[in-house]
Structure 1
Amino acid sequence: MRGPAAYDCAYPSRIHLPYVFTLLLFCTCIASINTQGYEETRRFGTSQRLNPAPVYPDAAEYVDNSQYPDYVAPVQNSWSIAHQPQMNVNAAINKLNYTPVSVPGWPDSHTKLGQVSAVSIDCSGHVVVFHRASRTWNPSTFTNDNRYWNTNEQPIALPTIAVLNSSTGQLIDQWGQNMFFMPHGLTVDSKNNVWVTDVALHQVMKFPSGEKETPSLTLGVRFTPGNDNHHFCKPTGVAVMESGDFFVSDGYCNARVIKYSAAGKRILQWGRNSFHGVAQVVAKPYSFAIPHALVLAEDKGLLCAADRENGRVQCFNCSDGTFVIQFHSPVIGSRLFSVAYSPKKGGQLYVVNGPDYTSRPIRGFVIDIATKKILSQFGPNNKDFSNPHDIAISKDGKEIYVVELEPYKIHKFVEPNVEPVKVNEVSKPTPKSVEESNLNKSSANANASTIAPVKPTATVEGLSLVSTSWAGWAGVAGGVAGGLGAVLLLLLGGAALLLRARHRGGTPLLPEKESLVL
């Protein structure tokens, strides 16, 4: 048995140095863990591998996320208005001008449609809509494993795709009968090909220009949801590049975006499910709570996604899927259903929000990409929508169309005194921040310049913008936390050693068999 002097003096001096190194190692490990979490997300988001390893939610999230029909308000414990940054929303909205303005009496009153889920504009300037005729999506439409409730049911017998004259609103053509079970997304590309998604079939289809019966490309397995390389789970939308490469938002269950070649060969994917039922002011980049619609801003090298239940627009690099910028505001609220883009005035996003548990107005909003401000608002006769679901804008930026699920409506808006869209007129402005730098880098990759933004007469400040620079501080925060933990342990250890030192030459603080080992 060691004597008191040996125990109280020699033993502490002998163990001091090894434990310092142990504590330092502990600090380093904590910093490494925090940094690794971000790096893993970044690599997933920017991976260019053919089949990058996906990250999917657990079973509970998978079911909960998928059970939202596309017109109901969210559960109250999801992303909440109450957790958004505090501001006088009504006052901010009242500051906004109403533009574009609605066109009364459009479309023609004889046009009869069902739930209108999507809208696009073809190469002739005609308005093309996707609707569900007599069928509706309700909480019993899908089973708990995301399968359509009755696969023995016949497809919708009536036409589901309608083509309208943009000026008169009269019906020009209609087709799509006996093909679809639950229409959702529709896009007309620059070659006049029509792309659709059917959430009941879990498929994406491409119809060549003029073809109305047989798709030239079909992706996904009929009536079979999944999350591998060959399946979708309720895909929501498609965006097509000039090159023919295209993107699919997948969707209600899988919370991912997938890029394909023009031939339908898978190139890359990104996305994580953030639908946890936990309030978040701004969700992390690459995470989705239903990627509900897609739009391309090719002059800026961006693909933008309407992250529906996170109430934001996320924009990514078209080439490699790298996160570039996001737009989010308490004025818009916690739900954002769709997004459209026009290159006019340096680039503008048009978005529509949706109903929630607050009295927040259900409107369309115009966002300036460069200044990050909400420029204006719009609605039917300067009033609220009921259940807006999709939005499209003409190439010249003069006409905007919004479709609703209930009531079954199409709304037309026009921008007064819109100048023709011109590119390469003015060189890009010098970046003033890291966020603007990221945006301009993406634009440079697209080999296109932007027009200097025009300052609006009334705007709303405070639109949050987050770039990849935020997460670089995650590792720093982890290191600081680890360092504080190590310091705390050192202080506790030092206090224990001092207590023992005070008992030098006497009886140890505890019997030797119960002595503390530091």
Structure 2
Amino acid sequence: MRFILFLGLFATASLAQSQHEVVSGWPQLPEGQVLGLCAGVGVDAQNRVYVFHRSGRVWSKPFPKEAIAAPTVSVFDGATGRLLSSWGANRFIMPHGLTVDREGNLWLTDVGLHQVFKCSPAGEVLLTLGEAGVPGSDDKHFNLPTDVAALADGSFYVSDGYQNTRVMKFTADGRFEFQWGTKGHGPGEFHLPHGITVDAQGRVIVCDRENERLQVFDAKGAFKHEWKGPQLGKPYGIATGPDGHFFVIDGGSPSLQPQLRGKAVELDPSGQVLDTFGSQGKAAGQFQLGHDIAVGPDGAVYVAEGTGARVQKFVRRKAAE
């Protein structure tokens, strides 16, 4: 019998004061340029911030057959917010997840194509998994894959999320190894695995979005813990920071009171809440459907918004002198 460890994630309405604040004026977009819905965000060791966005395309079923004509990956300087480059035009149908691995390569998931791509920082495709436009549930197909977590040895996990409700493990060259998960509410079951990360201990942490929890597994997929609570809300995306802390973006759970919805959450390695910042809204520092989150090498936090169609940067407040 598997044991669910329920952690009390600070049931208080708020911490004394958020430890993070938004950086105004970040990023700097050229006049007239619109990102559209920002689905994925990641940061490399050179502090370049990559944003995977839909450039005006909206989620509609059935998905369009033609690729988005405009660039769908924008690269910003983390320090200044200056746009460095853009690529990905005429390539993607419905951008979703973005992960930067230790080599600086990007892992992108496209829920319209049902595919996973490994790309160089400049956009060269290095590896493709899945069959374009063909959903499936075997070990060679995906059905609306959501995110990737890459390991130091090049192997990686894929959260195959909206339909197959599973996590798959692959070798560095893309060979299938194993999988776990099915639809449900129990330990090791999912109701939309949406974001995924790994930590220094080799644990795999999955945003079980519609079950409003994080599930923690060992490297082989064995269930270890469940983390949930009112401050965690509905986790859409998760990232591991350089200090081993987790950062989660709550997309805004309707089961919570409005003041508790739609925020970013910092957790320690045991799952305890250290900080929350942001809330639902349109102002700077607020979120309209936070969809993904990333942490830079300097500890800065970046949040990609869906409805808000923007990416915002947060830094830790300086201690009062």
CA contact (8 A) 2:24 2:284 kept: no
Match of 2:266 in 1: 366
In 2, the alpha carbon distance for the partners of 1:86 and 1:245 equals 33
Between the aligned residues of both structures, percent identity stands at 36
1:118 aligned to 2:118? no
In structure 2, relative to structure 1, the CA distance for the partners of 1:395 and 1:296 (3 Å cut) is farther
Aligned counterpart in structure 1 of residue 230 of structure 2, from 316, 319, 330: 330
Displacement of 1:406 after TM fit?
1.2
Is the partner of 1:263 in helix, strand or coil? coil
In 1, the alpha carbon distance for the partners of 2:141 and 2:86 equals 29
1:269 aligned to 2:179? yes
Aligned counterpart in structure 1 of residue 245 of structure 2, from 348, 351, 354: 348
Aligned counterpart in structure 2 of residue 103 of structure 1, from 20, 23, 34: 23
What is the number of residues matched between the two proteins? 309
In structure 2, relative to structure 1, the CA distance for the partners of 1:300 and 1:87 (3 Å cut) is closer
Aligned counterpart in structure 1 of residue 211 of structure 2, from 302, 310, 315: 310
Match of 2:136 in 1: 226
1:339 aligned to 2:249? no
In 2, the alpha carbon distance for the partners of 1:88 and 1:374 equals 6
In 2, the alpha carbon distance for the partners of 1:209 and 1:86 equals 40
Is the partner of 1:93 in helix, strand or coil? coil
In the TM superposition, structure 1's runs of 4+ consecutive aligned residues that sit over 4 Å from their partners are: 84-89, 380-383
CA contact (8 A) 1:261 1:267 kept: yes
1:129 aligned to 2:51? yes
Is the partner of 2:14 in helix, strand or coil? helix
Match of 1:93 in 2: 13
Amino acid aligned to 2:264: G
In structure 2, relative to structure 1, the CA distance for the partners of 1:390 and 1:325 (3 Å cut) is same
1:163 aligned to 2:65? no
Q: TM-score, normalised by structure 2?
A: 0.89
Match of 2:193 in 1: 291
Amino acid aligned to 1:205: F
In structure 2, relative to structure 1, the CA distance for the partners of 1:325 and 1:395 (3 Å cut) is farther
CA contact (8 A) 1:313 1:339 kept: no
Aligned counterpart in structure 1 of residue 276 of structure 2, from 371, 377, 381: 377
Gaps of 5+ in 1: 1-37, 40-83, 143-147, 275-282, 419-518
In 1, the alpha carbon distance for the partners of 2:39 and 2:49 equals 13
Is the partner of 1:309 in helix, strand or coil? helix
Amino acid aligned to 2:13: I
In structure 2, relative to structure 1, the CA distance for the partners of 1:85 and 1:306 (3 Å cut) is closer
In 2, the alpha carbon distance for the partners of 1:384 and 1:374 equals 19
In structure 2, relative to structure 1, the CA distance for the partners of 1:416 and 1:250 (3 Å cut) is same
| Aligned-residue RMSD, C-alpha | 2.5
Displacement of 1:96 after TM fit?
4.2
Larger fraction in helix? 1
Is the partner of 1:204 in helix, strand or coil? strand
Displacement of 1:85 after TM fit?
11
1:174 aligned to 2:86? yes
Query: Residue deviations 1:59-91, cap 9 Å, x none?
Result: xxxxxxxxxxxxxxxxxxxxxxxxx999995xx
Query: Residue deviations 1:460-486, cap 9 Å, x none?
Result: xxxxxxxxxxxxxxxxxxxxxxxxxxx
Larger fraction in strand? 2
Query: Residue deviations 1:373-423, cap 9 Å, x none?
Result: 211111177864121000000134x200001011211110012459xxxxx
CA contact (8 A) 1:191 1:209 kept: no
1:196 aligned to 2:96? no
Match of 2:150 in 1: 240
In 2, the alpha carbon distance for the partners of 1:349 and 1:123 equals 18
In 1, the alpha carbon distance for the partners of 2:8 and 2:275 equals 20
Is the partner of 1:389 in helix, strand or coil? strand
Match of 1:501 in 2: none
Amino acid aligned to 1:367: L
Aligned counterpart in structure 2 of residue 394 of structure 1, from 296, 310, 320: 296
In 2, the alpha carbon distance for the partners of 1:253 and 1:132 equals 21
In 1, the alpha carbon distance for the partners of 2:129 and 2:29 equals 36
CA contact (8 A) 1:379 1:385 kept: yes
Amino acid aligned to 2:277: F
Is the partner of 1:300 in helix, strand or coil? coil
